[in-house]
Amino acid sequence: MFLEYCFILKYFLIAFLIGLILFFISTILVFQQPNAEKLSSYECGFNPYGDARNKFEVKFCLIGILFIIFDLEIIFLFP
């Protein structure tokens, strides 16, 4: 019974090894030159003001959910 799953295990191991090899090759071959603008917090030119972890109102989530629901209903109306 284990022999049936052996091929799946080999497939995942080979895929994992190929991923690791490609990752390490890309880190070795890439010429990285850090730039002060790219290392800044925002590339748009604005300095950050405030914390990004502030709570936001629930109505934004409700509007998004309602949009998705009605968008899907309209898709099913066309056929």
Counting the structural domains of the chain, the total is 1
Q: Is residue 22 part of a domain?
A: yes
Q: Is residue 75 part of a domain?
A: no
Q: Is residue 6 part of a domain?
A: yes
On the CB side of 42, how many CA atoms lie within 13 Å of its CA?
Answer: 7
The whole-angstrom separation of Cα 70 and Cα 30 is 46
Q: Which pLDDT belongs to residue 44? A: 64
**String of DSSP letters for 25-48:** HHHHH------TTTTSS-TTSPPP
Per residue of the chain (79 residues), what is the pLDDT tens digit?
Answer: 678 889 999 999 999 999 999 999 998 998 877 777 666 666 566 666 666 677 778 888 898 899 998 888 888 887 6
Note down the domain range covering 4.
1-49
Contact 37, 43 (CB under 8 A): yes
Q: Is residue 79 part of a domain?
A: no
Tally of residues, the chain: 79
Contact 32, 26 (CB under 8 A): no
Q: Is residue 44 part of a domain?
A: yes
